[in-house]
């Protein structure tokens, strides 16, 4: 006769064996052909992250990891391509606020459902943004920027890395909170947006530090404020927007890795494990910290929950500001 103790022990042993077999399967999976990493934007920290992790994944998994930029429609074109790809581990998405959270409310009709048609692997990094301006515009600080924009509502424009990006919506949040106007000029990535800002074609913009740090140091851009809850360690003299008169103002950019929905758990978990290892390796850590990124390396479930929360949060911003896809 089997005692309750023996039965419980047998169940525990079976569960351990199943877990061990599953874990072994996850750790053994490898791609059988080159893997595409789709970046739905160009010239941005999304692209930098993809090109940092690609060679490391290639070393670990033994196949080439090829970065492909597929910009357009606020990131929707690239994200849709991944959503429609075979769920076999050979197509990945570098996703960010826009195509994963903001666009759900910003666009009247989405070509995919990010919560149902994409499988989160890890929220890799997040970061507040810098409010930067062209020095020739003559803005001395945030209050001066707001005052001048209010006084001449048709004079100033701002660039963003893409329609529907945090770069775009953060300025819309600021406009709504402070009551000024500036014309939105969306670009296909940070590179062209920052180039035009330096040239004076637009006067301001919100960008993650990694996109503008060098130009601020060279004096080609002027840094007015950051969007975090506290000042950046590398720029302790630069106030946050909350300190500059916009109470409780905070906006975060973030980047993660995803696969098509339906990708087997063994594949998702292999990529997750490799990404956690890569993101916490000393060289990659230093590179990301130098760009003022906070390394998150979340679980797939945590990333899924984060996207759901961000859809709600940015949806409120869009409704409150009246922002629309252009």
123 in Cβ contact with 100 (< 8 Å): no
| Residue 7: band (very low, low, confident or very high) from pLDDT cuts 50, 70, 90 | very low
| Residue 232: band (very low, low, confident or very high) from pLDDT cuts 50, 70, 90 | confident
What value does the CA radius of gyration of the chain take, rounded to a whole number of Å? 22
Beta bridge partners of 133: 204, 222
Q: What is the mean pLDDT of residues 258-267?
A: 98
Cα–Cα distance between 170 and 306 in angstroms, integer? 18
Q: What is the pLDDT of residue 258?
A: 98
Report the residue count for the chain. 326
Q: Report the relative pairing of strands 91-96 and 183-186 from DSSP bridges.
A: unpaired
pLDDT in tens, 153-185: 999 999 999 888 899 999 999 999 999 999 999
Q: Report the relative pairing of strands 252-260 and 118-128 from DSSP bridges.
A: antiparallel
Question: Among residues of the chain, what percentage have pLDDT more than 70?
Answer: 91
223 in Cβ contact with 142 (< 8 Å): no
| Mean pLDDT for the chain overall | 90
Q: What is the pLDDT of residue 4?
A: 41
Q: What is the mean pLDDT of residues 129-149?
A: 97
89 in Cβ contact with 35 (< 8 Å): yes
| Residue 326: band (very low, low, confident or very high) from pLDDT cuts 50, 70, 90 | low
pLDDT in tens, 97-121: 999 999 999 999 999 999 999 999 9
pLDDT in tens, 290-302: 888 999 999 999 9
Q: For residue 235, which of 160, 147, 128 has the smallest C-alpha distance?
A: 128
Cα–Cα distance between 268 and 119 in angstroms, integer? 8
Beta bridge partners of 69: 39
CA distances from 154 to 65, 150, 163, 180 (A): 46, 9, 20, 10
Phi, psi of 220 (to 5 degrees): -85, -20
Beta bridge partners of 150: none
pLDDT in tens, 52-103: 999 999 999 999 999 999 999 989 999 999 999 999 999 999 999 999 999 9
Residue 24's SS3 state is helix
Other C-beta atoms lying within 10 Å of the C-beta of residue 8: 11
């Amino acid at each position: 006769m089997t005692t309750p103790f023996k039965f419980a022990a047998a169940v525990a042993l079976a569960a351990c064996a199943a877990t061990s077999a599953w874990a072994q399967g996850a750790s053994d999976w490898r791609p059988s052909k080159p893997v595409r990493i789709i970046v739905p934007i160009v010239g941005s920290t999304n692209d930098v992250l993809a090109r940092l992790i690609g060679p490391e994944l290639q070393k670990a998994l033994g196949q080439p990891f090829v970065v492909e930029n597929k910009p357009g429609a606020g990131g929707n074109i690239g994200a849709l391509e991944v959503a429609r790809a075979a769920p076999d581990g050979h197509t990945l998405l570098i996703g960010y606020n826009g195509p994963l959270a903001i666009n759900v409310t910003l666009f009247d009709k989405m070509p995919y459902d990010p919560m149902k048609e994409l499988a989160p692997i890890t929220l890799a990094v997040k970061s507040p943004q810098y409010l930067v301006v062209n020095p020739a515009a003559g803005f001395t600080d945030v209050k001066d920027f707001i005052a001048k924009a209010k006084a001449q509502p048709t004079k100033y424009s701002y660039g963003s890395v893409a329609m529907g990006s945090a770069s775009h919506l953060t300025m819309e949040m600021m406009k709504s909170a402070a009551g000024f106007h500036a014309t939105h000029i969306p670009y296909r990535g940070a590179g062209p947006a920052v180039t035009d800002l330096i040239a004076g074609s637009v006067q301001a913009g919100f960008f993650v530090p990694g996109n503008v740090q060098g130009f601020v140091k060279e004096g080609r851009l002027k840094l007015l404020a950051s969007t975090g809850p506290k000042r950046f360690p590398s720029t302790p003299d630069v106030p946050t927007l909350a300190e500059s008169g916009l109470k409780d103002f905070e906006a975060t950019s973030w980047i993660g890795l995803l696969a098509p929905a339906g990708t087997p758990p063994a594949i998702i978990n292999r990529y997750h494990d490799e990404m956690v290892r890569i993101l916490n390796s000393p060289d990659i850590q230093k590179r990301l910290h130098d760009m003022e990124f906070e390394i998150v390396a979340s679980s797939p479930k945590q990333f899924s929950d984060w996207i759901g929360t961000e859809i709600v949060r940015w949806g409120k911003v869009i409704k409150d500001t009246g922002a629309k896809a252009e």
